[in-house]
Structure 1
């Protein structure tokens, strides 16, 4: 390396200087011997020779200091070389692509990941313009982005389609920082390049309905009519069964505000109601998920989003039911909601998989149990509902 050559050159120069100094010492010693042999007073000339000797000693001390400084310089160069190699490895082996370009976007440096993403060897990539890898329809947008970069002192981000050399287009996230020269003009652009393809595939996987929330988490089992404990820092995921969610109105009467079916989430963290109760309407299995875990895990938060949306949609359906003026309309709307949430197709129609009491119907429809009993009997006489041998409701013509 050039650093090693520099070390050798410096050492040779110091050695040559030391040899010349030793040769000068020998000449001074010879001169001193000659003066001593001359018939002159002892105090006449030796003073000059002594001064030369003193100067020679100072030169020797200077040479020693040069050797020490050279050793320190070599140690410093070794440390710098190790750090350079370390940062070069970090640059080359980084999981994301890194590029350095001039202000016009001409590539000057590229790491291994960038060459793989763009499918170009480094020796062919250097000197190429970044815009040559941008999809044709987005190149003007990219030019405008480059033009505006010098106006911003902070890092800028860009989502754009890039095309591999001889390959397919892929969506990429670019983060670019500008470096400036002493005159304050843009000098270099430093690019961080990420392929969004894998992350989007991950998002699609998280959106699948068969995402396993119970993996590595224990199942909590509750029997029918058992009250489920609620923790403000916990969200429950329904793995199996049905959970009734209720609150109390001003008259201290129970109001049904939700039915958590399999695949749905609930918990006191998700409500602002002062009184909130969860009761299992069947043998139920739940998974406990900590709110802190959700906050710390973007992937888990993303997977829970459609589940929370499901609860929101059901809540709006309950609001629609409570807003209907006629009780029989509220009942039929509630039966339609049950058909959607817990209905299963049978020969006679749609069977509700869970038996709700008349009190449950009354709480959901904001009426009395007696009124519900009368309206259900009327629907049965009309042939619109039917009770099987196990007293489960079967809906026939409730559309």
Structure 2
């Protein structure tokens, strides 16, 4: 009912009540006090109705104001969504596309209006669909943001390497809820990485390998760099009290050498059987591709060293050891059914040196991690960091 129409009807009702009251008081068969009481009640009811109507008008005005604000906010956020340089999609929990911005349409090489209603899985590379379904199911179980890499295949069959971030559009993911996808195209970055990997393989194949057994000290030459082909090398220094301090773990395709440190005491020890090739400093100057490969891999070393330094700053020894195991999981881990297996066997003393604590403390904490079902050992005595999200 329109506001003006309802207001007119209230005015007309009040007029009729006044007219009926005047007529009722003149009728001899009705006592005047009864008519007066009845019409007073009707008058009160009419006034309350008028007040309720005014309150409704006020509430409607507030609702209209809130609606206008929501509509403006929706238009503003829709404009932002549309102008985002990265591909953004909103899907149902089952993966059906509901909304997509123009960047998503460009990535998938399809007109924007044709995307809603299609299943996102249709645009995933067939070899990556199992990963897509697995990671999506994990979002349903955990209800928080996930990040991983996927290959998308557009309408014309061209493959795009992407970094995907997906999160529920709410505090928790229930049936009928929606997912927000951010898909960043990293094809050029991936191609550059593959080119560097090919160059790295070529460097390793063209040079004679140097083999060192577990526990051997690897000689360091100020005019050359070592490049690890296989195995794991421990880089360490020694404090004034002769305690060894871990400063890095060098795995496959990573460089090390005197030229990459400012420490006076610098020792490289094979933690497993390692295969190395050497690159002279003059070659790095003569062949830029060598320098690019070395720089790219050395960046990993710097990031690892920062993590180790940050871990040394933790006061709690248990936290230091657990964070070291998590770092090793990323550096030398391989996925297994139970979690992530460390491919190199480290002694309790190695872990103690890395955590700046005693071997006895490390042994006690490792036993505690096993009791807490955070850590197990396989039949070859390799540590397995249990995946807590399984």
Larger Rg: 1
Task: Normalising by structure 2, report the TM-score.
Answer: 0.49
Task: Normalising by structure 1, report the TM-score.
Answer: 0.48
